[in-house]
Amino acid sequence: MKKKRNREKLDGVGQLLVDGNQKLKNSVKAGDKAGISAAEIMQETATQQSQKLNGELSELRSKQNHVESQKRKLLAKSLEKDVSPDTLLLV
């Protein structure tokens, strides 16, 4: 769930960056200093949010990998207990 929300937020951040770039381009053409400042703020915000969300996604992937590793270990242990010499059939 959190992974999906973060990906959706990243899409929004990407759009903010696109909008900020377009605003910067238009503001530079028009010589609009306030617009240039606003565009820079949009770009900085998008960059910061992107870094934050990517960090959170990385952390979630790491936790997910750890859980999967633990599951494999538990399954292997369980299989070791279930397989004893008495239960093996020779063909």
Is 14 within 8 Å of 36 (Cβ atoms)?
no
Is 53 within 8 Å of 14 (Cβ atoms)?
no
Tell me the per-residue pLDDT of 13-65, one tens digit each, with 9 for 90 and over: 999 999 999 999 999 999 999 999 999 999 999 999 999 999 999 999 999 99
- Pull the structure tokens for residue 61: 């992937």
Q: State the pLDDT at residue 57.
A: 92
Q: Is the pLDDT score of 69 beyond 90?
A: yes
Q: State the pLDDT at residue 35.
A: 97
Q: State the pLDDT at residue 64.
A: 93
Q: With cut-offs at 50, 70 and 90, classify the pLDDT of residue 78.
A: confident
State the CB neighbour count (10 A cutoff) for residue 10: 16
User: Domain coordinates of the chain in residue numbers?
Assistant: 2-82
